[in-house]
Amino acid sequence: MHDLLTFALAVLALLATPGPTNTLLAASGATAGLRWSLRLVPCEIAGYVLSIAILTIVVGPLVAGHPAFSAALRLAAAAYLSWSAVVLWRSAADSFAHAPRPVTPLRVFVTTLLNPKALVFAFAVFPALPLPEIAPYAALFLSAVVVVGTGWIIVGQVLVRSAGSTATPRLVTRVSAIVLAVFATLIAGTAVAAAL
């Protein structure tokens, strides 16, 4: 996508779509609040930048020559998301006063690094341009990640405030764990389907 407006709209639409990273950001906003959770946004940025770079430079040529490699990567991502779901489920607390901060910067980084959206960004959204010419696209992408990531944190915080006593940390954390498990199942399903 060489047109910057089309690129920006595609990036915003894809980033805003619910997914594993957004689930973690919303869960953190709900349980730890905006101020603490903002430290997760740079981890999301780092995860996307590293993932897109690896996908573009290393994985693209490997997948072209070995289709099974793509399925193996998806299964690894599904396994990580399943593990994250279990950790979130087990860390659920009954009250906000005693709620741990289960969403760590490292978890957001690794989840984003393995996020299937990075595949779309690397192979369908970012134009294939030399490094100096990609700078305006990269700046636009990074700005969008900050805005959308912060938005998901705020969504989590607002949902908890508007739901009152029904949105306990246990409920928020366990719903987030279920959503991660669903994403893991979907990713594993596509990997198995691609291998067959």
Cβ pair 112, 47 in contact under 8 A: yes
- Residue 139 is assigned to a structural domain of this protein: yes
188 inside domain? yes
Q: What is the pLDDT of residues 55-88, one digit of tens each?
A: 888 887 877 777 777 777 778 778 877 887 887 7
Is residue 4 in some structural domain?
no
Domain membership of residue 22 (yes or no) is: no
Angle at 146 between CA 122 and CA 21, to 5 degrees: 65
Cα–Cα nearest to 71, from 186, 192, 176: 192
Asked if 100 and 32 touch (Cβ cutoff 8 Å), the reply is: no
Angle, vertex CA 139, rays to CA 133 and CA 145, nearest 5: 140
User: How many domains does the chain fold into?
Assistant: 1
Closest by CA position to 122, among listed 101, 100, 137: 137
Q: Is residue 180 part of a domain?
A: yes
* pLDDT at position 97: 44
Query: Would 17 be classed as within a structural domain?
Result: no
> 124 in a domain, yes or no?
yes
| Three-state SS sequence of the chain | CCCHHHHHHHHHHHHHCCCHHHHHHHHHHHHHCHHHHHHHHHHHHHHHHHHHHHHHHHHHHHHHHCHHHHHHHHHHHHHHHHHHHHHHHHCCCCCHHHCCCCCCHHHHHHHHHCCCHHHHHHHHHCCCCCHHHHHHHHHHHHHHHHHHHHHHHHHHHHHHHHHHHHCCHHHHHHHHHHHHHHHHHHHHHHHHHHHC
pTM: predicted TM-score of the whole model, two decimal places: 0.74
* 173-195 residues labelled b (16+ CB within 10 A) or e (exposed): bbbbbebbbebbeebbebbeeee
Asked if the structure places residue 129 within a domain, the reply is: yes
Residue 183 belongs to domain spanning = 27-195
- State the pLDDT at residue 168: 66
The pLDDT tens digits for 21-38 are 988 898 899 888 899 999
Q: Over the chain, what is the mean pLDDT?
A: 82
User: Over the stretch 86-132, which tens digit does the pLDDT of each residue have?
Assistant: 877 877 655 444 445 568 999 999 999 988 888 878 877 888 788 88
Q: What is the pLDDT of residue 141?
A: 96
**C-beta neighbour count of 10 within 10 angstroms:** 18
